[in-house]
Amino acid sequence: MIFLAADETPLVLQGPRATIPPGWLESYWGVIVGGLVLVGALALLEWARRRRQRPPLTSAHQALEATLRQAAEATGPTAAALVSQGLREFLATTDPQLPTALSTQELAARLETLPLYLPARSLLLTALQTADLAKFAGASASPDILIAQVREAVQRVETARRAFTGHAVPPAPVVLSTPLGATTLVVPATEPPPLPGPPPLTGKDRP
């Protein structure tokens, strides 16, 4: 026999508790992982597609990239001089109106007259002026920022070059239909001849 004190309550055994339902993360972890894998696969496919569509570098662009890689390993005025030299050689190679002997101010005036370089003009001048300050005035210039500016400017120049060359479409020839067995006549597409003028006035029509 169990004797309980007056202020004690009898111990009542409770049954087993209900099962705790799984959390949201435990329930949908498979969906989350599948979504991440799908997004990664799509990003990889897009990167591969863009890499296949990337146009090959021109010889001037390749020479510039080689100089920029040398500048990335240098520091201070040496890196700025390499960036300036590579950019000036690129401009001189792509257009004979931009020789390396021109100063930055002279290049700025020439670039205003060349539509191919207008999209990149501000970046080109910023990179050249920053490099000049680092070379001649000893100003601090980050080689990484200079290289990034030059690459962005050159990318704009190459994009404009492809846009300009893609618009030159020759006119399609006009093919005249002939009876079966006859020779097909191909006439180049030209402008129509001018219309004849009015007939000369006779003696009765003159005032």
* Interval 53-74 mean pLDDT: 78
pLDDT over 80 (residue 79) = yes
Q: How many CB atoms lie within 10 A of CB 157?
A: 24
* Interval 46-55 mean pLDDT: 59
pLDDT in tens, 121-155: 998 999 999 888 888 887 887 888 889 999 999 88
SS3 75: coil
Q: What is the structure's pLDDT at 177? A: 45
Distance CA 189, CA 20 (A): 82
Nearest 10 degrees: Cα torsion 137, 141, 143, 149? -100
Which range (44-53, 81-90, 132-141) has the least confidence? 44-53
pLDDT over 50 (residue 102) = yes
What would the two tokens of residue 188 be? 């180049």
Percentage of residues in the chain having pLDDT higher than 70: 64
Q: What is the structure's pLDDT at 106? A: 92
Q: Where are the domains of the chain?
A: 59-166
What's the CA angle centered on 122, arms 119 and 125, to 5 degrees? 125
Residue whose structure tokens are 């000049």 = 132
CB-side neighbour CA atoms (13 Å) of 155: 7
Q: How many CB atoms lie within 10 A of CB 125?
A: 16
pLDDT over 60 (residue 14) = yes
pLDDT in tens, 150-171: 999 988 988 888 887 764 434 4
> DSSP for 113-166?
T-GGGGGGHHHHHHHHHHHHHHHHS-----HHHHHHHHHHHHHHHHHHHHHHHH
pLDDT in tens, 104-127: 999 999 988 988 888 889 989 999
pTM (predicted TM-score): 0.52
